[in-house]
Structure 1
Amino acid sequence: MNFYTVVIRQISGYWVALCLENGVVGQGKTQEDTVKKLKEAIESLEIVYESESNIYKSPVSIDELHDFYLFKANT
């Protein structure tokens, strides 16, 4: 079982989760739905990563994390 670091926040009525190890994002109307979608996205990335040789994954930088926290959707 893999463990990931996830940051989750609410933006414009939706929840957004960001995986810090690979930059994958999930979004949903509830925290539970968002985490479920993030898990599915990570699983899909892992399948592609194992089958393709030209896939790059990188941890989220501090600057990108800062931008994620400061992002405000235009409403």
Structure 2
Amino acid sequence: MNFYTVVLRKNSGYWVALCLENGIVGQGNNQEDAIKKLKEAIESFEIVYESESNIYKSPISIDELHEFLFVEEKEQDSEQFVRC
């Protein structure tokens, strides 16, 4: 059994789960559903990863994590900029 680090956040009424080890995401109406979808996506990815030779995986960078956590703030900032 593999263990993964997951970051959860709510965005536009949905929960998004991000796996830090491979950058795969899952989305759901609640935290549990988002994690379930993430697990399904990771399982699907692992099947493809094991059967294909040109598939790569790597952990997400700090910059990508920062973007994931603060993307909504950036959108709000740009909306405020447009209104000015």
The interval holding the TM-score normalised by the smaller chain is over 0.9
The AA in structure 2 aligned to 1:45 is: F
Root-mean-square deviation (CA), in Å? 1.1
Q: Which amino acid aligns with 1:24?
A: I
Equivalent residue, structure 1, for 2:57: 57
Counterpart of 2:17 in 1: which secondary structure? Answer: strand
Q: Gaps (5+ residues) in structure 2?
A: 77-84
What TM-score, normalized to structure 1? 0.95
Runs of 4+ in 1 over 2 A off after TM superposition: none
Using the size of structure 2 for normalisation, the TM-score is 0.85
What is the rounded CA distance, in whole Å, between the counterparts of 1:60 and 1:13 in structure 2? 24
Identity score, percent: 77
Q: Which has the larger radius of gyration?
A: 2
Residue number in structure 2 paired with 1:26: 26
Displacement after TM superposition at 1:58 (Å): 0.9
Pairs aligned (count): 74
